Structures are given as C-alpha cells and as structure tokens.
Amino acid sequence: MTEPLEVYALVQREGRWWLPYGPEADAEALARVFNSDCSVVFLGPDGGSLAYDVTNEGEEVVRLEAALEAVAQEVIFDPQHSRPLNTAIWTEDPALLGLVQEIWDEHFATGEAEKQKGGKKPRRPYIEQLRVLVTDLYLAWQEDPLLCLGMPFSEGAWDSQSRYNPLGLSKHLVVLVKQLQAAGLVRVSAGSYAAPGAKGNRTGRIQASTELQKRFEALVVDGRAIQVVPSECIILKEGEGDYSRAVEYQDTDNTLCMRQVLTAYNDLLAQTFIDIPTLEQPWAVRQDNRGKDIRVAVGSRHQLVRRIFSRGSWEMNGRFYGPWWQGLNSKLRSQIFINDTPTVEIDFKAMHIQILAAQQGVELPPDPYELPPGQFPDTDPDEQRRLVKQLVLTALNAKDTRSACSAFREGLKAGHPGKHLKNTSLQKTINTFSEHIPALADNLCSDVGIRLMFTDSQIMERVITHSTLLGLPVLTIHDSAIIPYTHSKVLEETMKQAAVEVVGREIPLEAKALGLDHDSWKDDPVYVRLDYQTCRETERCEGYLTRLKEWENTTGREVVPFNIL
C-alpha cells in the first residue's frame, strides 16, 4: 500500500454504511478520500478491516460500496460518547409498554416462557428488565442519537439484591442485550481491560440500532410517564476509573446521617424548576478536549445528586456527583435559572491549596498561581496563570511526576501547543511552584488530591445542609455553588462558615456576577440596580416556557420566582 494511511470507522444510516461525518458531510468526506492517492483502511464492525488502494477511478469506489453492503452488523462509532445505563429508570407510558411487548413477543416470548417454568423466580421479571433497557435506550436516543450506554457484561457485576439496584435487575440483562443484538435492534461495543487504572479500560457499550430508532420515531411518548425510582445516593466504590465498582456496606450513624442530608436536598431539587431560558431543546452543547460537540441533557430527570466515596474508604473523595449542571462550562452555568430566577455562582478561590495552607497553618500569596514569566512558551500572563493552575491541580491528584505530566497534556484541548511539552519542561514549572510556596511542595505528585476532595466535600455538605434547611436550592459544582441572585449574601456567609467549621478558617470567595442583594448596590441609585436586573432577565424562548409549563403540570407546583430577602 502507498502512504499515507488513513483509518475510518463506519456507521450505518438508512440501510447504508457511511464514514462517520454526519449525513450532510458524507459526500464531501468520501470525495476527499477517493480523490487522494492514499491507502484507506475501513474498520469493520467485527473488528476486522477492509483495505483498498484508493485512486481517482470510480471503479474502485464501486468495489468498495459492494464490500460495505456485505457487512452484516452495525457498529457504535464513538464508544467514549456515553453515559451509564440508568438502572433506576421506569415507565408506565402506553407507547413504550406497547413497543416492549412487541419486541418481547417477536424475540423472547417462546424461549423465556420455557426458561421460567421451573426454578427460582427472578426478583424482577425478564420482560420488566427489558422495559428498563428499552426505556433508557429510548431516552439516550432522544438526548443524542450517537450517545451510547455503558453497562458491564460480566455476570458477576449484576446482583439483584444490591442496595444500588433498586429495580432488582439481574445478570439476565446481559442475555437480553445479546439477543437484541442478534435481532438487529441494538449495537454493541465490547468492553476492554488492560490493567488496573489503565487509560483504555471501559465497560461495554450499547446503542439503539437503525431499526430500533425507526420504531422509536413512530412512538408518541408522554415523558411524564417516565420516572426515576428512589435509589441509593450514598455510594462506596473501589478500584480506579471506568472499572471502579460500587461495593456493599453496612450502614452506620455516619452513612444514615449523610443519606438523610442528601435525601432532603434531592427532595428540594425535585420541587425546584432548574433550566436555561435560552435553550429551545432540552439540552446544552459543550465541547470536549478533542473539540467534539457533546450534548448535555437538561431537566429534572437528570438532576439526582449522589455522594460517591472512592477506594473503599469513607475518607477519600465523598464529592457530590450527578446533576446536569456539573457537565456545563462556566459560561453555560451562568445562564441557569432557578425557579425562573437568574443565578450567581460563587467560587472558593484556589480551594485545594487553600485547604492545604490552612492545615499547615501558613498564608498563601494573593495569587498563588502567579509565577515568573516564561513557564510556558508563547503565552500571555492570563494563559500562563491558567496553565500553571491546571498543572498544579493535576499534580495534587497525581501519584508521581510522570503521571502528572501525562494527565496535564491529556487535559488540554486538541491542537493546544502545551500537548507537546516534555516532562522535563513541566517538571521545571512544578519545581518553580514549589519554590514559590515551599509549604506545599511535599503535596505535589503525592496522591493527596483524593483526600482533599473529601475535605471539600465536607465543606459542601455543610453548605447543602444549611441551604436546604432554609429552603434555598443551591446547585453545587465541587468548589463552587449556584444560587438565585436574590440570595447571594446568604450563600456567601454559608460558604465562609462551612470552611471555618471544616478547616478552621475562611477560604477566599469569588462571585462571577453580582447578586441583587449585594452590599455594593447601597451606594448606587435605584435605577442602576433596576438596569442590572433588566439585563439579567434573559428573554425566555418558547422551548423553555414549554418545559416550565410541563414541569408545573407534572409536579402540580407553580414556579414562583425568588424575591430579595
């Protein structure tokens, strides 16, 4: 074969195999490949490949089309674009129930009836397990047709009696998936495991096939009939990365108390309408580090908060995870409304190094990330500060310098010049920071980050507890919180007090916008604040107003904007 070599994965749409560029770009993409003197390898769905020396002659294109038509199964284009299978999703929607029954009758009824004649009955009947599977495939397809669901395929991963398995799904779910794949209704990408903590480790992925998507399109589904059943919100995990797994535990006074706090908080969020008024569709779009657009589903079904502990320890991690606003960048978060009220986000500045400084009884300089120029080539002071901050925080979470440097480069967006920086160059910047703040030097590249996460989670737990008692919904990120802009002073005081209770002193705060109750307004004429209020009152689009009305109809609650205290 001639060089260069180009590699493409294939996806199937409308019964044909295409390069994965989207329907409008297929012709352009094919033309670019077929009008170049290069060798092209098309990855087949079975892991094999179809290799061709491509020339400008149409004859080669015809030969390629014939080969592609012979491929039997569909493939998942991007297994990394995924979310976990929601094992707590349930529906009583007639349209979805009808589809589940159709699929059951077509592919399962006879064989499963024979299996279930004798022996122990499953905790959850198999047809109801199929209901969970089809419902979440439908929701994923609604969010983004290219989104896939992650699920373990090992039988040992499914325990119908587990505290994390509220609907009692069993290992038979894997059998159902394989039968759906054989029937051409789902696409499957096998999981991979190289070594503990390896970058390529991941669970299996599933996605609705073209045929199942067509059946979804024919449905008229009442979204109000799809609910998330109550599930465990205090989670203890062991292992690393995508192969970490939740483990069982015995409740203690501590876990009971944490669950009580989080249940009350989730109940308050469920009674609160949280959305973005500029979104016509119920999703926001952000870019990942590869520059790829990622949809983030917005709505009450995606705001359940869980507290997750790591490495089998109640003193590692413990942060609050799960709600959709954590998947947004700061610009999108600034557009969130809570009960139709604009919001303010307040950050703990340099939270982790402030915690370390408090624990060691030292004071930090005004800007701990400000180092002498030249730490990174061709960067202005603002960009250098951002990169220094990213490198230091990465080093706090890393076990050694090598992994810190690797993780730093991986965290940069595609095409960023920092991706080419050598370990020696990054090590010099780490050393410069250590000289800048000697008291923190021993904490860099020492795996201290996961314990700092536990400390910051204790602070946020106090913020959540106090705000919930006041009936004020705050949206936590990890080192910041969002609140209606009518109540920013309450949040500021709560965050200050929470830090004092946990680390013994206040941690500096930074608000990304002014609250209406901020003291600075006292010196301004009333019209200045009214102008600001008008500016923050973003125009509500039709999609947002429709979702607001649907939320009111579903919950039976009226959305009442917050007023200044």
**Alpha-carbon span 300 to 227, nearest angstrom:** 10
- Return the pLDDT at 27: 45
Calculated CA dihedral for residues 100, 102, 104, 105, nearest 10 degrees: 160
In sequence order, which ranges of 314-422 are alpha helices (DSSP H)? 330-333, 351-360, 381-397, 401-410
Res 242: pLDDT: 60
Q: How many CA atoms lie within 13 A of 98 on its CB side?
A: 9
Asked if the model's pLDDT at residue 325 lies above 60, the reply is yes
For residue 50, what pLDDT band results from cuts at 50, 70 and 90? very low
189 and 76 Cβ atoms separated by less than 8 Å: yes
* CB-side neighbour CA atoms (13 Å) of 481: 30
Element (H, E) at 525: none
Q: How far is CA 509 from the centre of its chain?
A: 26
> Token digits for 481?
């919180």
Write down the pLDDT at residue 532.
85
Contact 73, 209 (CB under 8 A): no
Q: How confident is the model at residue 156 (pLDDT cuts 50, 70, 90)?
A: confident
What does the pLDDT average to over 68-92?
Answer: 79
Tell me, rounded to whole angstroms, the distance of Cα 264 from its chain centroid: 23
Query: CB within 8 A of 355, min separation 6: which ones?
Result: 452, 455, 456, 503, 507
pLDDT at 194 over 90: no
Tell me the pLDDT band of 262, cut-offs 50, 70 and 90: very high
Q: For residue 207, is pLDDT > 90?
A: yes
Mean pLDDT lowest among 362-366, 465-469, 517-521:
517-521
CA nearest to 296, candidates 316, 279, 315: 279
The pTM of the full predicted model, rounded to 2 decimals, is: 0.83
Residue ranges per structural domain of the chain: 5-69, 79-231, 336-354+457-555, 369-436
- Which stretch of DSSP H or E encloses residue 41? strand 38-43
Average pLDDT of the chain, as a whole number: 86
Q: Say which CATH class 336-354+457-555 falls into.
A: alpha beta
Question: Judging by beta carbons within 10 Å of its beta carbon (0-12, 13-18, 19+), is residue 138 exposed, middle or buried?
Answer: buried
What pLDDT score does 110 carry?
76
Q: Rounded to a whole number, what is the distance in angstroms from the first to the last CA of the chain?
A: 73
> Do residues 474 and 463 lie in contact, with contact meaning Cβ atoms separated by under 8 Å?
yes
Instruction: Count other C-beta atoms under 10 Å from residue 48's C-beta.
Output: 10
The span from the CA of 444 to the CA of 353, in Å, is: 10
State residue 135's pLDDT score: 98
493, with CB counted inside 10 A (0-12, 13-18, 19+), is: exposed
| Number of neighbours of residue 17 by Cβ within 10 angstroms | 21
Q: What's the mean pLDDT in 202-229?
A: 93
The per-residue pLDDT for 114 is 52
Position 268 confidence tier, pLDDT thresholds 50, 70, 90: very high
CB 19 within 8 A of CB 26: yes
Please compute the mean of the pLDDT values over residues 21-35 and round it to a whole number.
Answer: 43
Say how far apart CA 434 and CA 446 lie, in whole Å.
Answer: 13
Compute the distance between CA of residue 285 and CA of residue 273 in angstroms, rounded to an integer. Answer: 20
Amino acid at 452: L
Q: Both tokens of residue 164?
A: 């994390």
**Is the pLDDT score of 424 beyond 90?**
yes
